[in-house]
Amino acid sequence: MWIYVGLLAMLAYVWLTYDGGTPVKTEWNVVKERLIPAGDIDKIVYISNMDQVMIYLRKDRLEQFSNEKIPSTGPHFYFIVGSNRNIETELEEAREQLDSDHRFKIEVEKQSNFFGRLLEWMLLPILLIAFWLLMFRSRNRFLFQEQQF
């Protein structure tokens, strides 16, 4: 029974966190030199507690990237920010250099995965309880067999 509960929990976790695909990893230089000047970006989300930048492309520009196997829904690209950078300032400077019709939105947020954290905290107690029940059950079976003789 515990195996089924564990499998069901993992299935629920995967189903709730699945977003239609994983974004393609890129570098800040590629974004700055290729995506921003072309006006391909709709929105950039900087996840400050994970040091990641997620890039959402404009819907009318997705066809240009069909050979790069990007997901159909965003985020489409991401890159990791080094701790010595002030990426918010760099993004704002790059945004200000664009025409007003090509400017993208910049969002800063913190993310946490509730179900992942819950699974991390609950996995060890569940395994310990399951192990204890298994040992208790096999001990009772052994004692019951001794009493029959």
Sites in the chain below the pLDDT cut of 50: none
Render pLDDT for 19-57 as a digit per residue (tens, 0 to 9).
567 888 999 999 999 999 988 899 999 998 888 999 999
Into how many domains does the chain fold? 1
Domain of residue 99, CATH code: 3.40.1690.20
Q: Does 126 fall in a domain?
A: no
Q: Provide the pLDDT for residue 17.
A: 65
Tokens 């393609």, residue?
24
Find the domain containing 50 and state its range: 20-111
Can you tell me the distance from the alpha carbon of 6 to that of 8, in angstroms, rounded to the nearest whole number?
Answer: 5
Q: Does 81 fall in a domain?
A: yes
Q: Provide the pLDDT for residue 45.
A: 94
pTM: 0.63
Q: Does 24 fall in a domain?
A: yes
Q: Provide the pLDDT for residue 117.
A: 75
Residue 16 tokens read as 């709730």
Q: Does 100 fall in a domain?
A: yes
